[in-house]
Structure 1
Amino acid sequence: MVRHGLVLLTFCAALTSCTVAPAQERRPIAWDGLGRDPNRPPVTKRRAANPAPAQDNPNQERERVLGTLRPYSDAWWAVQDEIEAENDRQLGSKLMICPRCVQSSPQGEDVTGSIR
């Protein structure tokens, strides 16, 4: 019985040594696209000694003024429109659409035609 256990233990040790890759050898892992890519190096957070000051919100002053105005008055709507225009401008500067993604419709064709 001890002999069989010794043979089994030797076999398992040999099998384990074949399956373990050396520590310095790093092979790419198949990635399914979900979660973090295991082939990329780990992300390390760096902290600056003097952090940059937070970017001022251009609408901060407008929002303060908006709070002092009578809701839905003409002046209130003017300030509200300025806030929305600034938000749209900021979004437009961040939004990037590749030219291939935007399909232009043919000029002479009716887009709402039948399905035949």
Structure 2
Amino acid sequence: MMRYGFILLTFCTTLLGCAVAPAQERRPIAWDGLGQDPNKGPNRPHIARQRATAPAPTASDPNQERERVLGTLRPYSDAWWAVRDEIEAENDKQLGTKLMICPRCVQSSPPGQDVTGSVR
């Protein structure tokens, strides 16, 4: 029984290593809409203070003009696909700036080694 408890403790500690954010990095918590919003409650008063004192400037959506042009083009034409690819590239770029992956969670492969493989 003691051995199983030790294995469970080791497993939980390993998972916790990637789940804990550094102390200096305070980001909003994803909220599922149920219960009290964790970003607005007494648990996270520093976020509410930041937003009230320094509102972020609203940047215009760079895809807004592209989507207007996309609506004027013939669907699935070469020009339509080019504009659609630009929109998707911009969305991926915006997501890449917001997405943060724990550096310890990403395994890097040695340089020069092919990481693709076959099923054999």
TM-score, normalised to structure 1, is 0.48
Point out the structure with the larger helix share: 2
TM-score, normalised to structure 2, is 0.47
Q: Max radius of gyration: which structure?
A: 1
Q: Which has the higher contact order (CA 8 A, sep 6+)?
A: 2
